[in-house]
Structure 1
Amino acid sequence: MTPIDRRTFLGAAGGAGALPLLTAAAAGQEADGASAATATALLPYQEESRARRMKWWHDAKFGMFIHYGLYSIIGHQEWVMESEGVPIPDYEKLAGKFMPKLGAAREWARLAKRAGQRYMVLTTKHHEGFCLWDTATTDYNAAKQGAKRDIVREFVAAARAEGLGVGLYFSLMDWHHPDGARCKDDAAARARFVAYTHAQIRELLSNYGKIDILWYDVDWPLTPEQWRADAMNRMVFDLQPDIIVNNRNGLTGDFATPEHRISAADRAWESCMTMNYGWGYQRTDQEWKPARKLVNELTLCVQQGGNYLLNIGPEADGSVPRASVDTLEQVGAWLRTNGAAIYDCDGRAAGAFGNYTNFTRAKDKLYVHVYFWPSQSPAAQVLDALKPETVVAVGGVRTKILSARLLKTGQPVQFTQDAIALRLTGLPDEAPDDPTTVIELTCEGTPYVRHHLIRPEWPRYGVNVGGARSS
């Protein structure tokens, strides 16, 4: 089908006006959340209860994002309606083919549990406008089309059955609604569309019991004032006093949402990331990140005080791609023996960094995450004949180390410490854990690492470390 521009798209939708076509790159809100120009402060009642409401989320560290909708049937990615210029009448025909298998939501929740993820966020409505719940606001929903089931209800029940936090994603932008674009310049259309949007949020937060997270997305094309975002959030907290909300309805919310990058903020934050190049299912995208990469991203988030929301894109029937399942299970297996280096940690190791390591910290423990073992060095094969000792050297540790051990097995690790470096010795030639080995250091007091680079004495020394304040 020949791509069409926004004028033709809106004509098919019954809209008016020639507004610029919004591309993924242009949707700055999707990438960064509320901008400095539009963000406003938390409402007073949010601020007062924020620490209490957010505690479970800070402890959870790791969540599952689920992008699932009509785009999953096409298998081209979640922006396919816009990127391929599909007219609304043609796209609507997909609703009759939306047939998630029974038990799909339970499979998602069980996978999240095995992966060590502690909360889940489902796209209840993405930009395509199709609703996964039984809504009275439109017949364009999963309870009245296709399988004729309330997928949000199934999702909430599945997450609760596994003891996971429940998060609902909701796109403010709506390509299907006839007022979704013309509301920018048409006051009557704006009034209708904002009322429609508020009504949908009210349903989601009224009909499914306790909801832990409301995850807004893309507040285009209106300002916070036009969305009545203050009233929106007030309604949210009236309905769900313990909920937390993100920053993508134009207000600052409870946490920031860097996308496709790990970028610490001066507040609570969560990096949302993908396992390949897309959010929704893409049958041709087989560029999957390995478990080592995912563990590294999780550790970087925790090291800097943030959360890690990792996405899956189920196929048309709700099945999770085998590559996603296998990799998440590898991450979960690693977390079952190394979870103390993730769940128990704060963000106070944010300044520590290394060439082949990450660091996390919990009370008097400093965890050295070695994701490139000395024997994996390109020079290792050349040096094998010399039989160098396997050593991990960490520079800049300014706190006295009392003991060291491999976190997975508890095996003690020998070490020496001087003003230049902490040297961990007597290590096995091959990495004792996969995809990352964690060495737990018990410190005399609060761990403190200061920027300091060392030159390895042997090329098989696996770590040149720089660090900074982590007290």
Structure 2
Amino acid sequence: MKKIGWFNRARYGMFIHWGAYSVAGRGEWIMNRELIPAEEYRRLYAQRFTASHYDPADWAAKAKKWGMGYTVLTTRHHDGFALWDSEVNPYNAAKLGPKRDLVAPYVEAVRKAGLKVGLYYSPANWSCPDYPGGYFRDWPDEKDWAGEEARRRFIEYYRAELKELLTEYGKIDYLWFDGCIPGNIDGDETIAMIREWQPEIILNNRLGNPFDVKVCEQTVNPPAEDRDWEACMTLNDNWGWHAGDFHWKSAGQVIQLLLTCAEKGGNLLLNVGPKEDGTIPEESVRILDEAGEWLERHREAVTQSERHPFSWNCTARPVTVRGSRIFLHFLNDPCGEFCWAELKNEVRRARLFPEGGEVSFRQEGARLFLGRPEGAEVPYTVELEVEGKPEAVRSQTTFWIPE
């Protein structure tokens, strides 16, 4: 299966959930969860959405500083409020709230920063009269359409929105689909249209086939097959800005998530939820600054990482592999000498990465013993150079914990 070069070089991207819901500061699903009528939602949130400090160049600069290779902006979430100047959807940021197109400067800024441009788009639209079940507690089913005529109108409408996004803003690198429910919205046909508009674009797996990237949400669940994949995660417990959500991940947890994805050949798409004025919350910046400092020094151990055959161990976890180089990431203290009983290959060299200081080692059969690098403080990384392609002494064929 062909791998996407830029996607695997990146390994890390920034998801940006931002829209009218950011005014409320209670997360992105409030219209549905709180049963807010469309007109009330428009009046209280869409019309009060100012984007008064929106600076996409700053977003792009932060993403680059944090070590991310691409960004994905929610151009329209399930509430139906579009961030671009749409001719087919008058419920948009150019006509309400900010009174300007917010997608155009985003695309320009991200491209200028040398990052790949990603757009999130949800066909689901709670504000569209043809969409079934905007206030359901479960996603609508195929039987919930008002009729075939309503379904066809809806498909034509969402395709027209996509055509605007993919023909009016230059090259788009990644289209991230969400809310492709009910499932009978003729996604395969839509994908064929998209590839005509943007031949080099990559697509996630939520609309139809053929797709390029398999995604998992709020979990790290690599596909069984060796293909491009991505875990999308929140930095706290919400995607959209929530003023009362203080359950932030630490910088160490972010690093561990990134490495956990990288060791299985996947990417981490980590979310920020800007406030309604366009500023990224201070706590998000602090956490990602700290994680970014680590990544700046250890990037080579993360980008273009490959899936490997090694099972988990109790201390040096995760493990990333690139060619004949193995990186043992000590996020926990080994408490002296460390034994790694996984490696079949002969070790040529062990060194502290990226500083380069030699690390003492000896191999006794299947067991590799590593000395504690002098002066190293957790977290630290040891790079092993081995003979040939890394192989495991034993393979793990099932999940360790029985279901």
TM-score, normalised via structure 2 length: 0.91
What is the identity, as a one-letter code, of the residue corresponding to 1:392?
A: F
Gaps in structure 1 of 5+ consecutive residues: 1-49, 376-389, 454-467
Structure 2, unaligned stretches of length 5 or more? 134-143
Which of the pair is proportionally richer in helix? 1
Greater displacement, 232-241 / 55-64 = 55-64
- Residue equivalent to 1:77: 27
| Residue-by-residue CA offset, 1:382-440 (whole Å, 9 max, x unaligned) | xxxxxxxx2222112111111111113111111111114211114246x435xx31110
- RMSD value, Cα: 2.0
Q: Does 1:444 align with 2:378?
A: no
Take 1:442 and 1:198, find their aligned partners in 2: how far apart are those partners? 51
How far off is 1:355 after superposition? Answer: 1.6
Q: Number of aligned residue pairs: give it.
A: 384
Match of 2:94 in 1: 143
Which of residues 348, 363, 377 is equivalent to 1:432? 377
Structure of higher CA gyration radius: 1
Q: Where does residue 352 of structure 2 map in the other structure?
A: 406
> What residue in structure 2 maps to residue 364 of structure 1?
324
Mapped partners of 1:62, 1:119: distance in 2? 7
- In structure 2, the partner of 1:353 is 312
Query: Is contact 1:114-1:332 (8 Å) kept?
Result: yes
* % identical aligned pairs: 37
- After superposition, the Cα gap between the structure-2 partners of 1:67 and 1:426, relative to the gap in structure 1 and judged at 3 Å, is closer
The AA in structure 2 aligned to 1:230 is: D
Superposed CA offset, 1:294-337 (max 9, x none): 11111111111111111111111111111111111112111111
Equivalent residue runs for 1:204-223 within 5 Å: 204-223=165-184
Q: Which residue matches 2:137?
A: none
User: Map of 1:29-428 to 2, 5 A cutoff?
Assistant: 51=2, 54-93=4-43, 94-181=45-132, 184-223=145-184, 227-251=185-209, 253-265=211-223, 266=225, 267-347=227-307, 349-356=308-315, 357-375=317-335, 390-428=336-374
Contact 2:262 2:320 (C-alpha < 8 Å) held by counterparts: yes
Contact 1:62/1:119 (8 A) holds in 2: yes
- SS of equivalent residue, structure 1 residue 292: helix
The worse-fitting range, judged by mean Cα deviation, of 352-361 and 231-240 is: 352-361
What's the CA shift for 1:284?
A: 0.6
Could you tell me whether the CA contact under 8 Å between 1:304 and 1:350 is conserved in 2?
no
TM-score by length of 1: 0.78
Per the alignment, in what secondary structure is the counterpart of residue 112 of structure 1?
Answer: helix
Contact kept, 8 Å, 1:135 with 1:200, in 2: the verdict is: yes
> Are the aligned partners of 2:309 and 2:392 in contact in 1 as well (CA < 8 Å)?
no
- The answer to whether the 8 A contact 1:256-1:269 is kept is yes
Instruction: Tell me, in whole angstroms, the C-alpha distance in 1 between the residues paired with 2:203 and 2:91.
Output: 26
- 1:83-132 deviations in Å (ceiling 9; x for gaps): 11111110011222111134421221111101100000000000000000
Residues 128 and 269 from structure 1, CA distance in 2 versus in 1: closer, same or farther, beyond 3 angstroms? same
Conserved 8 A contact 1:61-1:308:
yes
Preserved contact between residue 391 and residue 427 of structure 1 (Cα < 8 Å): no
CA distance in 1, matches of 2:108, 2:309: 36
Q: Which residue number in structure 2 is paired with residue 23 of structure 1?
A: none
Opposite residue 322 of structure 2, the aligned amino acid is A
How many angstroms apart in 1 are the aligned matches of 2:364 and 2:54? 57
